[in-house]
Structure 1
Amino acid sequence: MFDSSEKSFDSSLSGLGNSSTYLDKDPLSSSLTELGSQQLPSVNAPVDYAGNTRATARAVGTLTATQTFSDWVGSADTNDYYSFNVTTPSNFSLSLTGLSADADVKLLNSSGTVISSSTAGDTTSESITTQLSGGIYYARVYRFSGDTNYSLSLNTTATPVDNTLATARAVGTLTGTQSFSDWVGTGDIDDYYSFNVGTPSNFSLSLTGLSADADVKLLDSSGGVISSSTASGNTSESITRQLSAGTYYARVYQCRGDTNYSLSLTATVTPVDNALDTARAVGTLTGTQSFSDWVGSADTNDYYSFNVGTQSNFSLSLTGLSADADVQLLDSSGGVISRSTASGNTSESITRQLSAGTYYARVYQFSGDTNYSLSLNATAVAPTPTPTPTPTPTPIPTDWYSQNLLDAQIITLTSSLAADGNLSRNDMISIFRDAKDGSVIDANELTDLRTLVSNSTLFTMADSVKVLSNKIANSDVANTRSTIGNLFAGSSDTQMENLIGKWFLGTARPVASGTYSYVSGSLFQNGLSADDVYQGQVGDCYYVATLASIAQEKPNYIQNMFTDNGDNTFTVRFYNNGVADYVTVDRYLPTYSSGNAVYAGWGGGSYTSTSNELWVALAEKAYAQLAESGWSRSSTSTNSYAAISGGWMDTVIRQVAGLGTSSFEAVNMNQTQLINLVNSNQILTVGFVYAAGNTLGVVNGHAYTITAYNATNQTFHLRNPWGSTHADVTWSQLVSLRGIIEWSNT
């Protein structure tokens, strides 16, 4: 039974439209427990000024500026409708405030379809902001829970006139910087600005002061997008471009949220050094001249023209970079003589010997914007006297050895080996080994070795033997990088043997994947062919594609590149600015556990096959070894296959064949020129760095050998050094792919 604390319903306890709660006292305790809530009829509900359906909606009429209405919704009046007209495209806003319970609001079109809703929880105010065209609309205020009074405000303002290309804000001719402040949001999603550029100009745009996410686009006169900036959140936006004379638009637009903004537009006249014919004229280059400038998105190229009056040693340095810029040395026709393309903000440099003539230095953006300092230097080369024919060496008088050498044992051995006037590779190996008697090379022995090398012209000695002997007796940067070290008075016999192994026996093999295995077969099998080339697991397409072209067009250059030493080693010749340099390789090559090649293939399959043809694999291995000497690759390269990943074909032509080169993007050539090159015996290659996403079967970031032209279907055959997935492309396709064509000048 209930005790005397039980409460029955008392209407005086109930607010308008509220519920009463029945409480029951637990007979076993003095606490009260809630039995539940029950909806009770409302008493004396307020007058309803707004209708409960669209048909009975409160008629606001044509909405201009702001109109405000007070009413209530609750259990006895769940909906209030308001109808209003908009006569012109307008920015519309609605607010529902003064809530003591949860009410929501919707914006409906003339058919009752919901355009937008606001459904914040509890007593939080509601709001809607949008853009409306002319027509009839409804605002529906409705109860979610509880009963509440409310204040409804409706507002329209005519849509700004800068929301389309046709109604863009006219800036006029843009010179210098002009700034504008405005806002974009749900009620004004686009702002357009039209401006003119009178002459080719560097253009920049900045959008700042954002409190929400707005973006910006640069459009051409037809509304086509030239560039966009779409940073997230309230991050500022910017665009930098080079524009030709004409009409343009800047479009500022809402991504999400509403925000004020500040827009700055700047145009400055484009520098005149952006092409060969407008290059900055340096004049005749003598000594060093330096220049400071910048390259970036708005000024991608700077050209400098200069003359060299006589045969000169030329050097160029590009320093002070904060982003990635590169440099090229061009001939008078714009053909690439040499380039430097270090990554990031690493300085660039080029060193070449130039004959008299006109040249260009091209500084260009790779990524980002950067200031730079460019230094150009030319020093005349002393005239080379006409060489006097060297007579066939005659045996050196015996007293020469005793008069010029110090160590008795070296005197005896050398005079014996050179009795016929010759010092061969094997002779020099014997002399070097003899010098390490007593397990150390003393000062006299070291002096004698250097004396023999410096007087090598007295003997009949192969050029490769002279060069390699000098690397042992004197120095080479590869000695120190390999940790063997240069020879010195006190060097051990172990160090001497390591130097002999490195330079004469090919035992200093490049760091590689797989396992080194002795490979059977011959240096050449049935002549040379481009089809001998199969690239392996290192990114040296530029190198092996060039080897393929040399094999096809000038096979004797490959044959003369190698000297078979008769002891399963081969001396391999390269050219450093036209001067021969050499390394020695042995038959050991990296293999997989299957016995096949890790790197360049040798055609016969397993390393045990006698049908293997070794020249490509050995030339690749030699190039990897050469990298440690510092001149063929970067100045910090190591003796490794990884060191030869990435490069350009014209560099290989100069370093392997010793020939001058040319390099042009296809767009700067014509079809007849390329056909003539194909039909010549010039080394001919093409590389692609702008062909991402093409559907022609051409691999981007890859080099090919151009081996043939098919006049019937007018296609050029591009041999892939992978040995498969070759491509046949027309001239127009080659131009569209922006192929970079590089070839030997002879």
Structure 2
Amino acid sequence: MSKYIILLMVSVTMIEHYRSTSSIIPSQLLEDKTMSLHNLGTISDRTTFNNRVTALVDPLDSLQFSLARAGNLNIGVSGLRQNVRLQLFRSSSSGLTRIGSSNYRGTTPESLNFRGLQRGQYVAQIQLLAPGRTPYRMRLSRQLINDVIAEERTWNSVNTNLSAYQGTLGTADTSDMFRLNLGADTPLSLTLTGALNTARLRLVKDNNNNGFIDSGEVLASSPAGNLEKSLNIRNLFRGTYYVQVCGSTNAPYTLGMAPQSNFAVREFDLGTLGNTIVTRTGSVHDFNTSDIYSFTLADSRHVSLALTGFAGDPDLRIARDANGNGLIETPEMISYSSRRQAGIDESITLNHLAAGTYLVQVTQHAGTSNYTMRLSTGYPTDLLPTEYDLGVINGTQTLSQYIGSGMYYQNAADNIRFTLNSTRSVNLTLSGLSCDIDLRLVHDANNNGVVDTGEVLGSSANGSDGAEWIAQSLPAGTYFAQVYRWMSHADDSNYNFSVSTGDWYSSNLTDAGIIGEARYFDTRNYSRRYEVMTILRAAKDYGNIDGAELTDLRTFVNGQSTTMPDYVHNLAYKVVNSNPANQWWTGGASTRTSLGNLYAGATADHLEKLIGKWFLGLDHPTAASTTTYRYTSGALFQNGIAYQDVVQGGLGDCYFCASIAGTAFRNPSTIQNMFIDNGDGTFTVRFYNNGVADYVTVDRYLPSTAAGGRYYMAWGGGLYNNTGNELWAALAEKAYAQVNESGWLGRGDSSNTYAALDGGTLSAISHVTGLSNTGYLPLSSSEIISAHNNNRIVYFSDGGHAYTLVGYSPTLGYQIYNPHGTTSWYSWAQVQATFVRWGYSGVRIPGAV
């Protein structure tokens, strides 16, 4: 190694801890210093030089080189075992002028990066600042963006840190590099804030370990010009990576890091939204999983966002960094759109968004998505993303969705796309509403995704929760039905939408609400009870039931009887047509009030009472004044069905108790099929009127004593809140009291009261089973035995109380159940002494007398 003696007036006074970004140091006279001088020639692209410096021997290496043209210069020194200082001097006839210096603690690599250096001669110096010696490797490059890898800090994990590093890019420091060692695969989000727009943020992997950033080694890079920068990587494999901040001079910055993309970074600032639609394009993929846009509202506005044109699966959300902490936290999310369906766009529509600054984030869920994003403040929304696509309409298609707010979710409009292959007469309905939701029909003639002048073909904007209806003849083409909340409303509503080219409903009905609800439920394989109740309630959408609505209800119930279960049609018929029981409403009170059949002009409350009476069991019978209706726990059946389940209470309805006990003994399946559990705490109960099924509904509320026990029919378990209660017998008794009001039981008192059931005959057998009965007969041992052996329900009367036969033995005699809860054996003599008449189900058995 050549040795030179050079006079240099640059004395070391202290160790610098950061790269110098100060002004150029004036030329100084040279002093005697021992150093090594190396000539690197002209630096035109990349150059690498390896050497060592040793304390007391040659602690200072000088590397002389020239630049043939003005431009950038990047220098990095790595492979250190001791602390060194890197300095760069410009050489001139008057001496050396220091233009940059870098000195980090310990063995951290040193680097200098310059923009716009003049052509001429330069000297780079490596000065050892510790005992011993150290090798080093110097890399030089003339690239515009620094491609020399020399990290100034190392991280060994990814943790959420909004200010993982704070630094400043300067004249001699246009690039900072950070090493990231990952011991396991991890997602990564990086943010760069505070820097000038020209700064860049890059993620690099030195695949060939040559210390330079080669082609293909930049995994992700933020565009220059963004207000703030971010990189969001779906998954980084374990290994070593480099994070680079480069670009502007005199730009303080903050570098943030996290394993998830929830930084509130304003990558793209859209400014203050006015009345013009803002359109931007972008792409999210594995190495850019998130784009964030910021916009400002000067006052409260309606805001619509649409994300279209993508092939992958992106998501869309809008948020506000309310606490200014630089993170999008869960409570700060206003709404999101994540449909997860190919060919379906993402969209958010908000009413009355307050003045302020907001963030819109487009994130990758799967795949690569080149997208177009539009923002608008128009009302109704003038954006036409395809949120739902019903395809080609040939007949009827329906859709049920929601307008309103939820947990971190708001949506004030939906766009529903459909297609016609030929000119058709089309009608659209919107029903099932609970607030003011409107409907309009749009044809995007120029296919630009925006509602332009002349593209709204029709609209329906009825007030309150009224149903909407649009009917038009349309040529072949693609159309949008736009469902949107009226501007002054903030309420929520489910809705049922239908579009049809013709069906039974539009041919036979006229009311939009009834047509819409009937159509929707006709396409679903649900239990028809709930659906029919909803259709009936559709007539309440404008308050009173008008003549057209009443006609439609009757047409629907009568015309669609074959599509409903028999019990549903039976109950609906009573609601919309007539039944003697409709005259009164009792509701468990001691006195009843006038109600009446449904009529044109009837109030919504009138209709609701009829629905409650027949479908919900709300018209409770009048009970004893000392009782209280309580919701009764338990199951309909416990451990099967047995005649012992029937235990008469404080009511003289032994004839009914004996009839259902005998039925439970002979045909338990009849008892089981007598009840339909509606799944909502109600049961529809079947009786027979001259062999024809008739139905009534009861709920779980049963009369109880002050102590909470049963007052009428026993329910088996004890107090009303005992989960071991068995309810079928008590519910059957309650239902019998309710159906009595229809008048066909043939009782003198046909009121909806328990007391009206006091006293009766074996005709109750026919009411429960649908079978005929023999009427009362004189006692005959042979016929009794024959009836028993033929599986008939056998009924005994002692003249004031009813019993049922549950067994016969030639040696033991007749086993008879008393509905008070006892079973006894009777000899024939005892039977004759106790009972005065009897009868059984069905016709008399020939030859049994």
Larger radius of gyration: 2
TM-score normalized by structure 1?
A: 0.43
